[in-house]
Amino acid sequence: MARTYRDIKADILGRITRGDWKPGSLLPGEIELAETYGVARATVNRAMRELTEDGIIERKRKSGTRVRLSPLRQARFDIPIVRHEVTEQGAAYRYALVSSTVGPAPDWLRARMGLQTGDEVRHLTCLHMADGQPYQYEDRWISLALLPQARVEDFAATAPTEWLIAQIPYSEVDISLSATAADEGLAAHLACRPGEPLLQIERSTRWDGKAVTFVQLVHRPGHRMTTRY
Amino acid sequence: MARTYRDIKADILGRITRGDWKPGSLLPGEIELAETYGVARATVNRAMRELTEDGIIERKRKSGTRVRLSPLRQARFDIPIVRHEVTEQGAAYRYALVSSTVGPAPDWLRARMGLQTGDEVRHLTCLHMADGQPYQYEDRWISLALLPQARVEDFAATAPTEWLIAQIPYSEVDISLSATAADEGLAAHLACRPGEPLLQIERSTRWDGKAVTFVQLVHRPGHRMTTRY
């Protein structure tokens, strides 16, 4: 039976994990591998491409393909829409708009988003709940220069993330993860003690080089982001 | 001049960002796109595959290819070897072994790593420094059932991560990110106040289904993990 690219991939991976091909060592070329395995070069190519994407090997135009010295280089985390995240955990999701204002962007935000003096923003704070308990607190700023329709939108029913996705289907995003201590306000919203360590995601979104939105998402105590590879 | 898959990818992305093809809408088939662009079907296929990997579109065997409703689904974070991370910031890296013991795995660790009663582990704690300041505190457990050579290895000069990579080039990894409060010990190691919020990475590594190592990496206050896409 003809061997598929999956068979070739598994075989190459096996040789690497068994140490036949050690970290840093050069792999045979695609033509040679195709001959060895008795398959088309395209089949070997697909296996090699997936191994490259998986971070197992690295391919360089001139010096050939090597086993990566440090294969565990990247981790992908799902950053789902919080409604999906909560529902997938089997909990009932509820969204509440806490506050909403329109006004000129404060200095720190102008610097952060790259806005001009006088540029206005819609500022929203929201609470996302799982089974009636606070799950995530959202502090969101939307540029009215780029999205003037955000000035009049009623965010009481629709969470800003879901509204934004419908406005701007694809954007450039900067994400930053950090640990923060609950201040009095956060502690009240997330029903925890002031000073408790909380996992925070900050996200800046641009579209066509212009700032769209900046958000701080702070999770309830004990929240973990997990991934497997 | 013949258009490359990159041209096709950029054009499709352009249509999506301009809203010609809206979130949720069905894209033309590969054959139709190949005719439209006047390129080989393989060229369209490669562009579509990258757009799928980028999370922009989703392809389903029966119902065709659609623009994703929620394109910003995954974030990739580099989790580099700390020595590389520090050096790339232009700081001088230094590693220090703080403690080292061998003994049976404690109950919580057996549960966490899936070890048997009586299984022994090497337990190491280490400090990674940047320009002489604490940068990351590492609390590492290595299974001696799987890696008996870890019993006698001298970790005074080589950090456990770098040693492990040379032993086991590829493994299955679980990663968990959370915020933790510095206890007295951590505060002393990381030169911060007890109670300060710290970003923690926990990583469990298996090889061929068996536990290799479990590590907690705690970063100095203010540390951020960032990514852009």
Give me the pLDDT at residue A18, please: 66
Per-residue pLDDT tens over the stretch A154-205: 999 889 988 887 777 667 888 999 999 999 999 999 999 999 999 999 999 9
Q: Which residue of B51, B53, B70 is the best one to mutate when testing the A interface, meaning the one whose CB has the most A CBs within 10 A?
A: B70
- Whether pLDDT at B23 is above 90: no
Q: Torsion-angle region of residue B108: left (phi > 0), alpha (psi -120 to 50) or beta?
A: alpha
> Distance (Å) from the C-alpha of residue B20 to the closest C-alpha of chain A?
11
Nearest one of A91, A27, A32, A33 to A64, comparing CA atoms:
A27
Tokens for A75, please give them: 């981790």
- Which residue of chain B comes nearest to A223, CA vs CA? B178
Nearby residues of A35 by Cβ (< 8 Å), 6 or more positions away: none
Please list every residue in chain B whose beta carbon sits closer than 8 Å to the beta carbon of residue A200.
179
- Amino acid A189 reads H
Give me the pLDDT at residue A111, please: 92
Cα–Cα distance measured from residue A8 to residue A50, given in angstroms and rounded to the nearest whole number: 11
Higher pLDDT, A202 or A226: A202
**Integer Rg of chain B from CA:** 24
Domains of chain B: 5-69 (1.10.10.10), 74-219 (3.40.1410.10)
- Which residue of chain B comes nearest to A76, CA vs CA? B76
What average pLDDT does range A197-222 have in this prediction?
92
- Whether pLDDT at B73 is above 60: no
pTM of the model: 0.73
3-state SS assignment for residue A229: coil
- Which residue of chain A comes nearest to B200, CA vs CA? A179
Quickly state the pLDDT bin for B124 (edges 50, 70, 90).
very high
What average pLDDT does range B196-210 have in this prediction?
91
Closest residue to A228, CB basis, from B76, B170, B174: B174
What mean pLDDT is reported for chain B? 88
Give me the pLDDT at residue A12, please: 87
Give me the pLDDT at residue A59, please: 85
Please list every residue in chain B whose beta carbon sits closer than 8 Å to the beta carbon of residue A23.
165-166, 169
- Amino acid A40 reads A
Quickly state the pLDDT bin for B70 (edges 50, 70, 90).
low
Give me the pLDDT at residue A80, please: 74
Where in chain B does DSSP place strands (E)?
A: 57-60, 64-67, 74-78, 93-104, 120-130, 133-143, 172-181, 197-207, 210-219, 225-228
Nearest one of A21, A72, A13, A99 to A229, comparing CA atoms:
A72
Quickly state the pLDDT bin for B18 (edges 50, 70, 90).
low
Q: How far from A115 is each of A170, A189, B74, CA to CA, in Å?
A: 20, 29, 27
H or E element in which residue A25 lies: none
What average pLDDT does range A130-146 have in this prediction?
96
> Distance (Å) from the C-alpha of residue B5 to the closest C-alpha of chain A?
16
Quickly state the pLDDT bin for B15 (edges 50, 70, 90).
confident
- Whether pLDDT at B72 is above 70: no
Quickly state the pLDDT bin for B27 (edges 50, 70, 90).
very high
Write down the ipTM of this complex. 0.71
Per-residue pLDDT tens over the stretch A65-79: 988 776 555 677 767
Q: How is chain B split among helix, strand and coil, in percent rounded to 5?
A: 30, 35, 35
> Distance (Å) from the C-alpha of residue A113 to the closest C-alpha of chain B?
15
Percentage of chain B lying above the pLDDT 90 cut? 55
Interface size A-B, in CB pairs within 8 Å, comes to 158
Contact A176 B77 (CB under 8 A): no
Per-residue pLDDT tens over the stretch B160-176: 988 887 777 667 888 99
Helices A41-53 & A30-37, crossing angle to 10 degrees?
120
Per-residue pLDDT tens over the stretch A106-136: 999 999 999 999 999 999 999 999 999 999 9
Cα–Cα distance measured from residue A150 to residue A102, given in angstroms and rounded to the nearest whole number: 10
CA atoms within 13 A on the CB side of A175: 20
- Answer yes or no: are the C-beta atoms of B204 and B111 closer than 8 Å: no
Q: How far from B132 is each of A148, A193, B86, B99, B190, CA to CA, in Å?
A: 49, 34, 11, 19, 11
Per-residue pLDDT tens over the stretch B39-62: 999 999 999 988 887 777 888 877
